[in-house]
Chains A and B, each alone.
Chain A
Amino acid sequence: MKLTRREFAVGMTTAIASMTLPRLAAAQSPLVVPTYGGLWAKFWEEKLLPGLTAATGIQPQLDVGLGKDFVAKIRAGGGRSPYSIFMGNENIAAVLRAEGFFEPFDLAKVPNAAKTFPQFVNKDAKGIRAIVSPIGLAYRTDLVKTAPTSWHDLWDNPEFKGKTGLYQIGNTGAVLFLRLVAELFGSGPDDFDTAFAKIKELLPFTQASWSGEVATALIRGDAIIAPVDWTEIMTLQDKGAPVAIVAPKEGVLAFEQSFNLVATGAEKDAAHAYLNYILDAKVQQDMAKAFYTSPSNSESSVDDAMKARTPIVGPRMAEIKSYDWDSYVDKAADIADRWNREMA
C-alpha cells in the first residue's frame, strides 16, 4: 500500500494532534471536584461551587460518581491524575494512601483545619475527614415495640431476629459495623474472628449495597432495624415514613468523607483552597441543613432544631468511633472474601 504525500501529511497531522490535544487540554483544565450523586450533587451544583467561585475565584469542574469510581480513575491515571483532590470514605482513601497516590496537605494553606474537630484531621495532615455522616440504629416506629438503645439489642431483642438489615461488605457501612462488633465483643476492632462469629448469629439478615437500599428494606418492612446514616433516615422522615434513628449508648459509627491531596494532581493550590472552603463553619452548617451531616467545624452554629434531628453534633462528635485503616488495607480483600462466603 503506497501513501501519497497529501495522505501522509493528513495522517501525521491527525496523529500528532490526537497525541498533543489531551496534553493541552490537561494543562488548561480547572480543578476537577469529585462528589456523589443525589442531594450531594445538587448541593455542590447549586450552592457549594458557586460559593467557592465567589470566595476564591476558582472555577472548578464537577465530577459526580462513587468513591470507588474516583479510586479507579486515579489509579488508571497513573502519573497524571484527573483529580488534584480526592473525596471518599476514609477506609477507601486508605487504599490509595497505602499505594502512594496521596501527599500531606500544607495546613498553612488550610486555615479552617485548625477549627476542625481534631479527631478528623489525620496524623501528619495525611487526609482530613471533612464531611461526617453519623450512623446510628434506625428502626420502624410502627413495627418495633421496644426501641433500641444499644448495639447489643440487635442480638438481645428477639423482635429483631431475622428482621435486621445490614450493609453488604462492599459498602463502608459493613466494614465499620464489622470493626464495631469486633470492638464490642472481642479484644478490639481488629478481632475479626469474633466479629464474624457474632454477626453470623444475626443471620438471616437483609443485605444492602448502599443506604438507599437499606432504606427501601425498612420501608418494605423486610427489615425493621438497621444500622444506617442519619442522612437517609431524616430524608425518609421528611417524606413521612414511620422510621426513627437512635445513637446507641456505646457510640455511633460514621461515614467520614476523607479529603486527600493527590500527589499526581496538577491543581494543588486550588485543591487546598477547595478543602479550606469545605471546612468553613458556614459551609458545614449549610451542608448539615441540606443533607443532615454533622458539622466537622467546631465553630459551626448548631441550633436546637438541628440538634433535635441530628443529635451527633458539637461535643457529641466525640461519640463517633473512628478507626485506623492503615493496617486494615492489607486484610481488606480477605475480609471481603470471607464475608461473601460466610454471610450467605
Chain B
Amino acid sequence: MSAVEAAPRVDSRGNRGSAAWMVVPALVLLIGFFALPYLTIITMSLREASTRAVYGDGFTLAHYTTALGDFYIWGILGRTLLIGATVTVISLLLGYPVAYHLAKSRSRWTSLLYIFVLSPLLVGLVVRTFAWMIILSNNGVANQALKAAGLIDFPLQLMNNSLGVTIALTHVFLPFIILPLLGNLQAISPDLAMASRSLGASRMRTFWKVTLPLSMPGIQAGTILVFVLSISAYVTPAMLGGTGGRTMSVLVVQYLVDNFRWPAGAALAIIMAAVAVIFVGLYLRLTARAMRRLP
C-alpha cells in the first residue's frame, strides 16, 4: 500500500482505523431495529404460556408444534398467501400499462398522472379502508348500483371475505409496483426498441422480446414489495376481512393484543415471517434464473 493510499486511514496521532467508526451507525441500526427485536420475539415464542403471569417460567416448543399441527392456522396461512399472490398479480397486470405509459409519455399532463398514481398513498389507511367499506357493504354503493341496474336481486357479499381484502389491498399497493417499474422502464434505452423495429419486429414482438425482458428487474422488485406488504397488512384485512377474510396478521394481533397470549402470538409471527422469507427466497431464485436466460 502506498503512502498516499494509507494517508486517510492515519490520523494526526498516527492511529489507524478511524474509518471503521463509519460502520457503527449501520451496525447499531441493524442490531437495534432488526436483530434485537427478532431475538426478543423468538425468545418470547419459546416461553411457556401462563394465565397468571405474562409468560411461564420455562421454555417450550409447544406454541410451534400446536400451531403447525392446527389446520385452522394452516387455512389462514394459505388464505394469506393466496391474497398476497392475487393482489400481486392483479397489481402487476394493472400497474404495468400505467408505468409503461408514464415512462413513454411526453405529455405535459404527466405530472397529473403521477399524482393519480400516488393518490392512494395521500389518504390515511383507515380512511381509505372505511371508504371501501361504504362501497363494498351489503347496502353499499356497489350493491346499490348493481341493484339499480337490475343485475342482482340480492346483495353480493363483497366484504367480510377475501374478495373485499383483495380489492382494497390492490388499490392501496398499486403505487408500490408502478414506481419501481417506472424507474426501470425509464432506464431502458429507446434505441433498443427502435433497433428491434428497424429489424422488422412488430410493436408487440418488440414489447415481448425487448421491453418486457428488460423490465424484469422492476417487475421483480415491485412484485416482491407488493407481495410482502400484502401478506403483512393488518388494517385492511382487520376492517374488511371479517371472519371470512381473516389473515395471519389479524390472527397474530388477536393473539397478542386481544387475548394477551404473547408467547403463542410471537410463535405465529415467527412462523409467518419464516414462510414469507421462504416464498420470497424461492421467487427470487426463480426470477433470477429467468432473468439469466434472457437474450
Contact = CB atoms under 8 A, between A and B. Distances in A.
Contact of A100 (B20, B53, B134): B53
B258 A170 contact: yes
A341 B20 contact: no
Nearest to B260: A95
Contact of B260 (A2, A71, A168, A222): A71
Contacts of B15: 2, 4
B290 interface: no
Interface residues of A, number: 34
B16 interface: yes
B16 A220 contact: no
A329 B15 CA distance: 62
B139 A1 contact: no
B51 interface: yes
Nearest to B51: A330
Interface stretch (B174-182, B184-192, B241-249): B241-249
Given A68-B258, A220-B139, 13 more contacts: A2-B17, A4-B15, A95-B51, A99-B52, A99-B53, A100-B52, A169-B258, A170-B257, A207-B242, A209-B238, A220-B138, A332-B260, A340-B251
A333 B261 contact: yes
Contact of A4 (B13, B51, B264): B13
Interface of B: 11, 13, 15-17, 20-21, 51-54, 72, 133-134, 137-140, 160, 238-239, 242-244, 246, 251, 254, 257-262, 264
Interface in A81-95: 95
Nearest to A101: B54
Contacts of A98: 51-52
Given A68-B258, A332-B259, A340-B254, A207 B243 contact: yes
Nearest to B255: A333
Contacts of A221: 138-139
A344 B243 contact: yes
Contacts of A4: 11, 13, 15
Nearest to B12: A4
Contacts, number: 73
A75 B53 CA distance: 9
Interface string A115-138: 000000000000000000000000
A216 interface: yes
A216 B239 CA distance: 12
Nearest to A335: B259
A336 interface: yes
Interface in A214-252: 216-217, 220-222
Contacts of A95: 51, 260
The prevalent SS among residues of A at the interface is helix
A307 to B, nearest CB: 34
A169 B246 CA distance: 13
A72 interface: yes
Nearest to B246: A340
B163 to A, nearest CB: 15
Interface string A273-316: 00000000000000000000000000000000000000000000
Q: Closest 9 A-B residue pairs measured CB to CB? A: A170-B258, A344-B243, A221-B139, A1-B17, A333-B259, A330-B51, A1-B20, A336-B259, A222-B138
7 contacts: A1-B21, A98-B51, A207-B243, A209-B239, A222-B137, A333-B51, A344-B244
Q: Which of B16, B20, B52 has the most CB of A within 10 A?
A: B52
Contacts of A99: 52-54
Contacts of A220: 134, 137-140
A217 B52 CA distance: 37
A263 interface: no
Contacts of A336: 254, 258-259
A343 interface: yes
Contacts of B20: 1
Contacts of A7: 21
Contacts of A216: 133
Contacts of B13: 4
